[in-house]
């Protein structure tokens, strides 16, 4: 017989057997750990670091504090020193360590701490290495202006003494007869040019001013970034370290005087001796050129050391101009190869060796084993260099145009300078390839003196030929520079007897 269940009984039966299905099996309850242990385990590394710092702070606080040294005045320290000196005089020496320890301890109530007057202070203080510092004889500190004034006064006094005892090569008589001070085409019109040049120079700044620009945000940012850049800071440091005076630092009459004195100095050493290591003679020439320029502009300036530095620097400029002119002509005049093709280096090395042998580079036709050569000191490169140094450039800087008399005819020292510059330019190719060589006085003074001696020997043996060569060199440069024909001519070179008579 089939049993019929009601709906309520079916639901009760399903509820009784629901725990037997695998989907609704009861799960075991997890055991919960104590709350305090979980927090300790979950602490981070930062919390542990905090605990360590707290422990260190507690340990530092538990340590005893150090006592600070008592601040003492200078008078108290001098009193301590005086006490130690008295102890030493009473056969109770006290070391410097005792003095320093005593100064760091607080003063006791019974200790002597009274302030002493100026008359009771010691005049000397012993140092650590048994040296005595005299406090009463300390020299006063000099200012920069007083130091410069003393240097200028000593320099002017030395120049006056040197002017009384001139060297044979650079004598006042040679200076006057050379025409550097008086013979100049522009000298007759100096009154007009002086007023205009002085007014222009004094009214205008030493450097050209740029047109002001409207302020913009982008410009200010660019300027700020450029100022803060490492490159600009390096330039500022170099500019700050520069203490050597320059011609552009002057203005007004000072600028006009120093420009003319510098040009006159180049003329003097170019026509009388450009390669010399006699510093006293160069200073004498600089002084004479400054005096001539000061009288020319009627400036009444005081000669000082910076003026001499700027003027004497023109000697290096003259040698540099001579070498530059020689370098620009040796390749075309002697056939030096540029070294791009194979075998050029060996060719150049052999060529330079042959040119420097017996100074063949000064001959119009070099001597060989079968021929004696032709045209000593008549090579065309000599005329090119002399024209480039003394007869070229801007009109207001052409030395022969401003001071034409010393170059009519071309003097022997100018020819020797050109020949020495040629040898320096050839030395840059002596290895077959171009290697820069500096035109130093110490390296080429012997070469210059050797050329002076040989040219003087040529003048002694062949005076007519030498005079013709000097005239030809001058006419070539005169046509280039535009010098008038009626220029006063130097009658003759001064000899040794005239130098002796002038002394």
Domain spans of the chain, in order of start? 74-105+119-131, 168-203+243-498
pLDDT tens-digit map of 10-60: 555 555 554 444 444 555 555 555 555 655 656 666 677 788 888 888 888
Residue in the block written with tokens 């450009």: 274
Higher pLDDT: 236 or 369? It is 369
What is the length of the chain? 503
Burial of 373 (0-12, 13-18, 19+ CB in 10 A): middle
| Dist. CA 377–CA 373, nearest whole Å | 11
Can you state the percent helix, strand and coil of the chain, rounding each to 5? Answer: 60, 0, 35
| Dist. CA 304–CA 152, nearest whole Å | 5
Residue 376, classed as helix, strand or coil, is: strand
Main-chain dihedrals φ then ψ at residue 107, nearest 5 degrees: -75, 135
pLDDT tens-digit map of 112-159: 444 445 445 555 555 455 455 555 666 677 676 666 667 667 767 766
Q: 395 falls in which pLDDT band (50, 70, 90)?
A: confident
| Dist. CA 464–CA 457, nearest whole Å | 13
Give the pTM. Answer: 0.53
Q: Interhelix angle for 344-356 vs 412-427, to 10°?
A: 150
| Dist. CA 480–CA 485, nearest whole Å | 12
């Amino acid at each position: 017989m089939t049993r019929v269940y009601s709906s309520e009984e079916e639901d009760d039966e399903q509820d009784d057997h629901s725990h037997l299905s695998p989907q609704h099996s009861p799960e075991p309850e997890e055991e919960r750990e104590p709350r305090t242990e979980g927090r300790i385990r979950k602490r981070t590394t930062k919390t542990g670091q905090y605990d360590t710092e707290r422990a260190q702070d507690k340990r530092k606080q538990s340590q005893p504090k150090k006592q600070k040294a008592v601040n003492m005045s200078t008078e108290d320290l001098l009193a301590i020193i005086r006490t130690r000196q008295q102890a030493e005089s009473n056969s109770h020496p006290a070391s410097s360590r005792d003095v320093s320890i005593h100064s760091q301890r607080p003063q006791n109530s019974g200790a002597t701490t009274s302030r002493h007057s100026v008359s009771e202070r010691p005049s000397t203080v012993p140092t650590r290495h048994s040296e005595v510092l005299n406090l009463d004889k300390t020299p006063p500190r000099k200012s920069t202006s007083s130091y410069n004034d003393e240097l200028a006064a000593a320099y002017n006094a030395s120049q006056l003494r040197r002017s009384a005892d001139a060297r044979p090569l650079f004598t006042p008589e040679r200076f006057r007869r050379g025409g550097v001070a008086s013979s100049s085409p522009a000298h007759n019109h100096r009154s007009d040019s002086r007023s205009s040049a002085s007014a222009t120079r004094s009214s205008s700044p030493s450097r050209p001013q740029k047109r002001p620009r409207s302020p913009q945000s982008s410009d200010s940012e660019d300027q700020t970034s450029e100022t803060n850049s490492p490159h600009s800071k390096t330039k500022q440091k170099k500019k700050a370290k520069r203490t050597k005076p320059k011609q552009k630092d002057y203005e007004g009459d000072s600028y006009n005087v120093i420009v003319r004195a510098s040009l006159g100095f180049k003329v003097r050493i170019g026509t009388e001796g450009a390669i010399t290591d006699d510093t006293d003679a160069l200073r004498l020439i600089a002084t004479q050129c400054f005096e001539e320029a000061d009288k020319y502009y009627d400036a009444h300036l005081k000669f000082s050391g910076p003026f001499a530095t700027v003027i004497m620097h023109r000697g290096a400029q003259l040698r540099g101009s001579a070498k530059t002119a020689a370098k620009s002509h040796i390749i075309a005049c002697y056939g030096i190869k540029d070294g791009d093709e194979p075998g050029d280096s060996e060719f150049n090395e052999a060529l330079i060796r042959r040119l420097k042998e017996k100074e063949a580079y000064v001959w119009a036709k070099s001597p060989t084993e079968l021929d004696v050569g032709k045209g000593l000191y008549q090579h065309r490169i000599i005329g090119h260099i002399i024209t480039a140094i003394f007869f070229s450039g801007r009109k207001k800087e052409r030395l022969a145009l401003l001071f034409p008399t010393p170059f009519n005819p071309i003097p022997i020292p100018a020819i020797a300078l050109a020949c020495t510059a040629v040898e320096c330019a050839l030395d840059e190719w002596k290895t077959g390839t171009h290697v820069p060589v500096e035109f130093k006085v110490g390296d080429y003074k012997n070469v210059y003196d050797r050329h002076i001696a040989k040219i003087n020997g040529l003048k002694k043996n062949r005076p007519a030929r030498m005079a013709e060569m000097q005239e030809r060199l001058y006419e070539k440069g005169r046509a280039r520079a535009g010098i008038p024909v009626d220029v006063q001519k130097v009658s003759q070179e001064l000899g040794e007897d005239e130098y002796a008579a002038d002394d």
